[in-house]
């Protein structure tokens, strides 16, 4: 497990218990290092501007001084949205037409296949209805006679609240995660993976299909950290059964780590890499326990630190680069 953006490979990793309790990996040494860096920057600025050590300045004071900006002010403002440049694309390399439409935010790849078969997509003036068709990045593509343009990549981290479904379209018209981020950007984003309606915590939304596959496909084994509250204490026998692994849908699943962060056996910290549906709840059901509350503390190295429940933020360029490189577990 690693920090979302400031992880130092040479830094000692805190305990799993500390991680579950705090939900972040910023050690005291790292904080001290950041403090020293800020002090050095202030000293350098003072020398350039003529400020003295006691805070006074040799320069005449302005009659109106601008207020000091509040720390973290506007962290969830739309002005904080990060724009990401398109990764280098070889103009001579073809791309599947359904993927091109999905990357443009028109629809999903599966829906794009239906539109292609319906004959509403044209490439360079020619209707294309072949599902395996490929296009060049420089081709002129029309959807219902309207030009298709590739979208900016957007990456949003949401601290999902309860009573919210993780879906792009709910026939029952329940509150969805897209309702929360609808005003965040004009691009069409979708959740990476799923969380139960009453499961809270870290959820990533993006329009980057390639990254979504890397984060959800079983072969990449991206880890998740959960904090669970049970209806009764977990016995030592049940704990041992979980550590050895339980069989779900023909697959034996065991946690990578299991701890008791509050020194009782009702609150469990669980690290796991399986992507099965409702995997944590089903694991505890196998040993006779029911999960009353479930919160995802971390997903693929991203945490909900400084993101209140029901709020979101945009990933930093550094976080996006780390995810694309597969640097996070």
DSSP state letter for 215? H
Residue 98 CB coordination number (10 Å) = 24
Distance CA 197, CA 202 (A): 13
Distance CA 43, CA 48 (A): 9
Three-state secondary structure call for residue 202: strand
Q: Which is it for the CA torsion 124, 208, 112, 176, positive or negative?
A: negative
Distance CA 279, CA 193 (A): 13
Distance CA 202, CA 225 (A): 10
Select which of 113, 139, 196, 256 is catalytic. 196
Q: DSSP H helical segments within 182-316, as ranges?
A: 209-216, 236-244, 279-286
Task: Supply the DSSP string of 105-146, one letter for each residue.
Answer: TSS-HHHHHHHHHHT-EEETTEE---TT-EE-TTS-EEETTE
Q: Is 113 a catalytic residue?
A: no
Q: DSSP H helical segments within 28-176, as ranges?
A: 28-49, 97-103, 109-118
Beta strands 291-299 and 200-206 are parallel
Q: Tokens representing 169?
A: 């379209």
CA angle 138, 184, 140 (to 5 degrees): 15
User: Which residue numbers are catalytic?
Assistant: 196
């Amino acid at each position: 497990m690693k920090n979302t953006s400031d992880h130092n490979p040479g830094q000692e990793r805190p305990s799993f218990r500390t991680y579950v309790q705090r939900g972040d990996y910023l050690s005291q040494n790292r904080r001290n290092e950041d403090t020293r860096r800020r002090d050095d920057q202030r000293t350098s600025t003072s020398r350039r501007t003529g400020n003295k050590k006691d805070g006074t300045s040799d320069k005449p004071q302005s009659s109106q001084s601008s207020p000091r900006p509040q720390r973290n002010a506007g962290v969830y403002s739309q002005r904080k949205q990060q724009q990401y440049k398109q990764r280098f694309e070889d103009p001579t390399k073809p791309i599947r037409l359904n993927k091109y439409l999905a990357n443009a935010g028109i629809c999903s790849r599966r829906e794009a296949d239906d539109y292609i078969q319906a004959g509403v997509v044209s490439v360079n003036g020619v209707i294309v209805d072949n599902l395996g068709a490929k296009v060049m990045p420089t081709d002129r593509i029309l959807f219902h006679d309207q030009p298709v343009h590739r979208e900016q990549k957007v990456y949003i981290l949401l601290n999902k609240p309860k009573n919210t479904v993780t879906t792009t379209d709910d026939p029952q018209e329940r509150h969805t995660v897209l309702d929360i981020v609808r005003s965040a950007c004009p691009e069409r984003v979708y959740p990476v993976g799923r969380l139960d309606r009453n499961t809270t915590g870290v959820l990533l939304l993006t329009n980057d299909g390639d990254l979504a596959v890397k984060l959800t496909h079983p072969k990449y084994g991206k880890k998740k950290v959960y904090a669970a509250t049970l209806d009764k204490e977990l016995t030592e026998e049940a704990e041992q059964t979980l550590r050895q692994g339980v069989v779900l849908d023909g697959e034996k699943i065991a946690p990578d780590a299991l701890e008791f962060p509050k020194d009782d056996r009702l609150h469990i910290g669980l690290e796991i890499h399986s992507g099965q549906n409702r995997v944590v709840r089903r694991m505890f059901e196998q040993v006779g326990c029911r999960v009353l509350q479930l919160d995802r503390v971390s997903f693929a190295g991203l945490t909900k630190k400084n993101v209140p429940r029901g709020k979101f933020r945009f990933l930093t360029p550094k976080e996006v680069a780390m995810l694309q490189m597969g640097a996070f577990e």
